[in-house]
Amino acid sequence: MQVATFLAYLLAAALFIVGIRRLRKPETARSGNTIAGVGMAIALITTLFVIEFESLLLIGIATLLGAVLGAVSAQRVPMTAMPQMVAAYNGVGGGAAALIALSEFYHLQTGGEENIVASITVPLTILIGTVSFMGSIVAFLKLQELAFSGSVVFPLQQVINAVLFVGILVLAANAILDGSILPFLSPVASVVGILAASALLGVLLVIPIGGADMPIVISLLNAFTGIAAAASGFVLNNYILIIGGIIVGASGTILTRQMSSALGRPLRKIIFAGLAATGTGPSGGGDEDREVNDASPEEAGGYLADDAQKVVIVPGYGLAVAQAQSPLHDLMETLESQGKEVLFGIHPVAGRMPGHMNVLLTEAGVPYEKLYDLEDINPEFEDTDAVIIVGANDVVNPAANDPDQDTPISGMPILEVEKAERVIFVKRSLSPGFAGVDNPLFYDTDKTMMVFSDAKAGLQQINEAVKNG
């Protein structure tokens, strides 16, 4: 039985790896997701054969409930809320790992077989899992704009974090050494204290971080959950938890580093300095008193029809919110029917998460080969006649490259749209982006046309104007 279980877990792990590898390309991503899902099903079914019989009913109910909740939420959650969904699911995984570790430690302390490996890994699992759980909750609330908007800071915040962490280490040592460090506190009480302190630490670590950096935080917390799951695998002596947790932890860490590089901000500053919400440069609402080139959709469409041969489209989160991907696809087809070259510039965090915008556009029918990453599209702007920016601001904001400003996006690599002959913004108002930094391009009346409109309606009207020439 043990050999069969090990082989089943090994097969599940292999399917996880194959599935993740196939997620690298859009053409194979769907099958990769299915393969990884089959691996998870094998792991779950195998686990049912290695647990105590009397627990089957409860586990069956929990599995059924989780499957229903997962299926319903996956169907109902819009693409614009996908980062929040990722944060929520990730947090649940970390919280589950922490509670499992707490339960197993209690079992060991009340007559279970003594296990030094479990005793050491329990505090680690509780710490990482709880930080991931509470941090993910805060990330969800920030992205959903329910609470903790912007940056929440207070005096001595980092000092309090450090004191909490040291306290957790002391409690962990007391639990591992069977209460010899703090005789008045039992090992079980110590791990409960670790749970409470870690929950507070998770909140305090994330609340200072601004919304522009939230995708990086979610990715980092995802890595934390993987590490917590791997540690809980040592607690439960479960191979698939160890393997799966390590895969999640490693992939989350790699993605976090890539996103941090894409945004041009060291991870240590994001986590420990709350950089994304501070700064001395201009931020807040747009300057309504400054002159802008307020253009109608007809004027923008006329320019595209008459004077533009090469057009680059830059979509942002506002496009996703307005569900304007289909009108954008229609505009692309209209322009191409008139012999114009159309490309798409995709910033790594367009849509708040890597790949978010790519999925949205390809589902609308935009060929994937037309989607250019930042480093590939930037050289194209110098000979571009028109850039159409739909619902984006931070990713095209030249303020990021201004050495005289210290803003939340300072140093962030951007799409260099200002190099194009003409810039057309389709935007509801002059309000800044998620980072709260005003865009000087709005006020360049010689280059920029501001089409103030809902993204969906504005694109439809521009498309009709292009057709009418």
What's the CA gap between 247 and 241, in Å, rounded? 10
| Tokens coding 85 | 């969904």
213 tagged catalytic = no
CB atoms within 10 A of CB 296: 16
| Tokens coding 149 | 């908007």
What's the CA gap between 201 and 195, in Å, rounded? 10
Marked catalytic residue, from 213, 330, 394, 438: 394
Tell me which residue of 97, 131, 125, 127 sits closest to 217, measured CA to CA: 131
Within 8 A by CB and 6+ apart from 398, the residues are 414, 418, 439, 440, 441
Tell me which residue of 231, 113, 217 sits closest to 172, measured CA to CA: 231
3-state secondary structure of 315: strand
Tell me which residue of 460, 431, 442 sits closest to 295, measured CA to CA: 442
Q: Say if residues 131 and 202 touch (Cβ distance below 8 Å).
A: yes
What's the CA gap between 99 and 92, in Å, rounded? 11
Within 8 A by CB and 6+ apart from 144, the residues are 81, 84
| Tokens coding 109 | 């302390």
Q: What is the tally of helices (H) and strands (E) in the chain?
A: 16, 6
| Tokens coding 273 | 């300095």
Q: Say if residues 245 and 94 touch (Cβ distance below 8 Å).
A: no
| Tokens coding 339 | 């012999």
The stretches of 177-266 forming alpha helices (DSSP H) are 187-206, 214-236, 239-263
| Tokens coding 186 | 């039992």
Q: Say if residues 204 and 160 touch (Cβ distance below 8 Å).
A: yes
Instruction: Write out the catalytic residue numbers.
Output: 394
